[in-house]
């Protein structure tokens, strides 16, 4: 998660990235992180590593939420959770 935010922050300069949370369906939540198209490719190419790291961090804080998958849509990365 830190790697994803670092890449997003690098392109935003001093602005903080706007991260949106949405609910789709009954219990599916999404974290939406805007970034450039080239950076979305970098994240998607190693999506399995990012999901593993996000879930490891969530487990450390004893969260009931787990990240299911990462996908891209235009210039955003969307992390879908349960």
pLDDT, tens only, 27-48: 568 888 888 888 888 889 999 9
More confident residue, 6 or 37: 37
Q: Give the residues across from 52 on adjacent strands.
A: none
pTM surpassing 0.75? no
Question: In whole angstroms, how far apart are CA 12 and each of 5, 9, 20, 28?
Answer: 10, 5, 16, 28
């Amino acid at each position: 998660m830190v790697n994803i935010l670092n890449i997003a922050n690098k392109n935003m300069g001093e602005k903080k990235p706007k991260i949106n949370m949405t609910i789709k369906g009954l219990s599916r939540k999404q974290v939406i992180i805007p970034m450039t198209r080239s950076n979305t490719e970098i994240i998607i190419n190693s999506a399995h590593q990012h999901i593993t790291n996000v879930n490891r961090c969530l487990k450390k804080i004893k969260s009931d939420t787990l990240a299911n998958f990462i996908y891209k849509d235009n210039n955003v990365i969307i992390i879908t959770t349960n």
